[in-house]
Homo-oligomer: A and B are copies of this chain.
Amino acid sequence: MESLEFPISAGQLGLRLGAEVVGDSALELSRLSSIESAEGGTLTYVSDKRFLPRLGDLSGVALLTTADMVRSELPLTFLVVADPKKTFSGIAQSFQRRPREEGISPQAFVHPQALLGASVGIGANSFIGRGARIGRGTSIGPNCYVGEGVTLGEDCLLYPRVTLLEGVTIGSRALIFPGVVVGSDGFGFIPGKDGENPTEVPQVGTVVIEDDVRIGANSTIDRATLGETRIGRGTKIDNLVHVGHNVTVGPRSFLCAQVGIAGSVEIGPDCMLGGQAGISDHVRLGKGVKVGAAAAVFSSFGDDETLFMNPALPARKAMGAIKYLRRLPEIWERLKALEERLGRQS
């Protein structure tokens, strides 16, 4: 959709969207809101019937919605679309402001042997090392560090203060938030004997991040000891996530905030890891596995499993354990009562 600007009338918006308008076409819309905080002049959406009672509290609001949720008796304007959330997201994109760099800042350092595609932007105080290759249309914010031999695809957006260390490869359309570090050393040591310090296992592998990956603020992705750490295409990583050496994740997986993935883990396609979930080293998770928030996974699981708890169990078992955990004192008392009765009996 072409970029949109407020104010716009509900009728004009309906035309732009090809949406049927039920209610006041002249209603002027001046901002987006969620259904919870909708008020006169806002555009919002409803895609879940549990929000229908909320509609009675509103007036002068335009709602993107499916045909079955139209309530023409209410003082509201309905814009009927097939997928309200998706349409709303498309509109919201017009209002998203992202800091893109235009041209190469004279305060940036770009090594003469770096290769830059067309329309690359590089912010002040950023460093682009020898042999780095930056694809066309990629924007690198201020205070970034792109190490020697790094490859960055096309149309990436690096926010300020991103660090990509030597030799890592990032696909196209990457979205990388501030403070991210890609390519730090994996954590591997040979313990010392008799009070000697441990010695490092050199980490000489790399990181490969496929297309359309998003990495949240202050997350870290370690390089492999040998070979590569790989983030599959379309995988979305939230803030403060740790991905250890030699891990494979994705494609199309979600790692919520503060997830930690230890070394050599393999996570299949279409997985979803809740916030603060942890995966122990060498664990394998199949396709479509869901791991609950704050769960800790110490063994491998196959496709489509749902896991909860620390240590993690399949959902049904976990739910059973959780249900009776809080009744443990009662179990104890009832067990003692039985023993006493039996003591009396025998």
* A interface list, Cβ under 8 A from B: 32-34, 37, 85-86, 89, 92-93, 95-99, 107, 109, 123-125, 127, 129, 141-143, 145, 147-148, 159-161, 163, 165-167, 175, 177-179, 181, 184-185, 187, 189-192, 195-204, 212, 214, 216-218, 220, 222, 225-227, 233-234, 236, 238-240, 242, 244, 246, 251-252, 254, 256-258, 260, 262, 274-276, 278, 280, 293-294, 296, 298, 309-311, 313, 317-318, 320-329, 331-332, 334-335, 338-339, 341-342, 345-346
Please provide the 6 A-B residue pairs with the shortest distance between their CB atoms, ordered closest to farther.
A197-B234, A294-B296, A320-B329, A92-B202, A324-B328, A181-B217
Report B-chain residues with C-beta under 8 Å of the C-beta of A324. Answer: 328-329, 331-332
Q: List 23 contacting pairs A-B, 8 Å CB cutoff, sorted by A.
A: A32-B204, A32-B226, A89-B202, A95-B204, A109-B124, A143-B161, A145-B161, A175-B200, A179-B218, A179-B220, A184-B217, A187-B256, A189-B236, A198-B236, A218-B240, A222-B239, A242-B257, A258-B278, A262-B293, A317-B326, A320-B328, A331-B331, A338-B342
User: A184's contact among B177, B197, B204, by CB below 8 Å, is which?
Assistant: B177
Given A202-B93, A313-B326, residue A276 in contact with residue B278 (CB < 8 A): yes
Q: How far is the CA of A234 from the CA of B296 in the complex (A)?
A: 29
- Prevailing SS type, chain A contact patch: loop
Q: Which residues of B contact A85 (CB under 8 A)?
A: 190, 201
When distances are taken between beta carbons in the complex, the residues of chain B under 8 Å from A127 are: 123-124, 142-143, 160
- The CA-CA distance from A216 to B260 in the complex, in Å, is 14
User: Shortest Cβ distance from A275 into chain B, in angstroms?
Assistant: 5
Q: Is the CB of B33 within 8 A of A227?
A: yes
Choose among B160, B187, B195, B332 the residue that contacts A252 (Cβ–Cβ < 8 A). B195
Chain B residues closer than 8 Å to A325, beta-carbon distance: 313, 321, 325, 328
Asked if A148 contacts B275 (CB within 8 A), the reply is no
CA–CA, A258 to B89, complex, Å? 31
> Would you give the shortest CB distance from A30 to chain B, in whole angstroms?
14
* B323 and A145 form a contact (CB under 8 A): no
